[in-house]
Structure 1
């Protein structure tokens, strides 16, 4: 079982001047604890359920670049980039840059976007949901093309790239792993089966059903279901004990999850606890399962 940490709140004691030191310390602790992955949300305003929109929120790729310079082994990604926020050619360059500078540790996490308030607030176009899914599929096609080194022109309904050059190429082989976030059964999980290396689903009662739907999409696409890394995103109320994390990881593994990601919210300090739990889960559940 792989274990990852998502940092969802940057409201730290001491105000904005403490964000860099505290975030950096957390990234180093997660790396030193042996966690597999470190994630930040790709949001510009804080989301409901975590805090008010006015609370501190870092731009995701700048934050990951900062973390990359302070860590050595942990992989780095957004959970997940809203497809409407960045042109796909620029987005692929951004993820490639993170991959090169981190020594091949980048993930490409992407989804159809949902948080209209931040888009409208900052003047970012936010198309209807059907169009966002069309843009997501085109973005996935462009990413695969650029990481394959195919510089031929791309002509889609929403995007046109005359020469999708990507130099330097990513260090990850065959490319930074593509993770599509979301549990939509008709569109999102179909795109996972067709284009992605990993899915991300919320930890909840519907998780087994979502995985079964993904398996069905894989059968229709002629894709080996086992090739796709199944990741989940969950949270604890308060700081959990090591035993609570071990129990959660075991339950998720039994459901078919390979990579459990836990969200660190305000007033939580999870890196050390997750690291201790990881050492125990590795005795119970094989890595990668």
Structure 2
């Protein structure tokens, strides 16, 4: 099992003036501690589970480019890109740029988008749910085609591209992985079975059921269920002095038994980078042994 660090809160003790060096220190510490991937949210306002919208928030792909320069090994992604925030040709180009400049470490994390409030606030396109899922499927097709170097024109219901030129091509082999976030059983998990290299789910009581639904979709479309990497979001609460480490490791063991390959989540007060020593010394080695 591998671990991922999710950075979703940028309101740190020394304020915006220290945000860049603090973010660099967090990313470097996580990279050195053995986190296999680092992600940010694709939001332009803070979301309710973390605090009011007025809290500090960075644009995702600019932030990932910064993280690429301050890490050496960790893969980089959004958890997850809102499909309506960027047209698919530009999105594929942004992810490819991240991949090339990071030495092949990009992952495309993507979903159907949900935050109507921030979209209305900043004038971002936000169609009804049905259309967002239609656009998500077309975007997945376009991105896969561009990552594969296929310049054939694309004509869909919502997007028409006359030449899918994407040079330079990504460095990732065999191509940039695509992760779809969300557990919707009729649409999202079907798209995972059809197009994705990985899924991202919540680790609650419904997790096994969601995995079973995904397997059913894989059987329906003729996809090998074991080809899809299963990941979950998680909140790493190790306690103030590491007193909760055993509980975290127990959770990881339970998730590994269900076939979860990556546990990906936030670390409380990540700006205090000494916390990553606990991961380096105890949690990462335990996870890798599962």
Per the TM superposition, whether the score is higher than 0.5 is yes
Counterpart of 1:281 in structure 2 is 287
Gaps of 5+ in 2: none
Q: Is the 8 A contact 1:246 1:278 kept in 2?
A: no
Counterpart of 2:186 in structure 1 is 186
Q: Is the 8 A contact 2:180 2:196 kept in 1?
A: yes
Structure 1 range deviating more: 222-231 or 148-157: 148-157
Q: Is the 8 A contact 2:22 2:271 kept in 1?
A: no
Map 1:141-152 onto structure 2 (within 5 A).
Answer: 141-152=141-152
CA distance in 1, matches of 2:157, 2:248: 45
Give the drift of 1:238.
Answer: 7.1
Query: Is the counterpart of residue 242 in structure 1 residue 245 in structure 2?
Result: yes
Give the drift of 1:148.
Answer: 1.4
CA distance in 2, matches of 1:118, 1:51: 14
Q: Structure 1 residues 35 and 265 mapped into 2: Cα distance closer, same or farther (>3 Å)?
A: same
CA distance in 2, matches of 1:61, 1:231: 21
Counterpart of 1:19 in structure 2 is 19
Select the residue among 214, 237, 257 that pairs with 2:260. 257
CA distance in 1, matches of 2:271, 2:100: 31
CA distance in 1, matches of 2:255, 2:58: 30
Query: Is the counterpart of residue 272 in structure 1 residue 280 in structure 2?
Result: no
Q: Deviations over 1:169-199 (max 9, x none)?
A: 0000121110000000000000000000000
CA distance in 2, matches of 1:108, 1:267: 24
CA distance in 2, matches of 1:214, 1:176: 22
Counterpart of 1:136 in structure 2 is 136
CA distance in 2, matches of 1:47, 1:265: 17
CA distance in 1, matches of 2:84, 2:187: 16
Counterpart of 1:158 in structure 2 is 158
Give the drift of 1:245.
Answer: 2.2
Give the drift of 1:152.
Answer: 1.3
Q: Is the 8 A contact 1:10 1:19 kept in 2?
A: yes
Q: CA RMSD in A?
A: 1.4
Query: Is the counterpart of residue 42 in structure 1 residue 47 in structure 2?
Result: no
Q: Is the 8 A contact 1:39 1:78 kept in 2?
A: yes
Gaps of 5+ in 1: none
Q: Is the 8 A contact 2:238 2:245 kept in 1?
A: no
Q: Is the 8 A contact 1:10 1:266 kept in 2?
A: no
Q: Is the 8 A contact 2:238 2:248 kept in 1?
A: no
Q: Deviations over 1:126-160 (max 9, x none)?
A: 00000000000000000111111111111010001
CA distance in 1, matches of 2:224, 2:60: 31
Q: Is the 8 A contact 1:39 1:76 kept in 2?
A: yes
Q: Is the 8 A contact 1:42 1:79 kept in 2?
A: yes
Q: Deviations over 1:87-118 (max 9, x none)?
A: 00000000000000000000000000001111
TM-score by length of 2: 0.94
Counterpart of 2:52 in structure 1 is 52
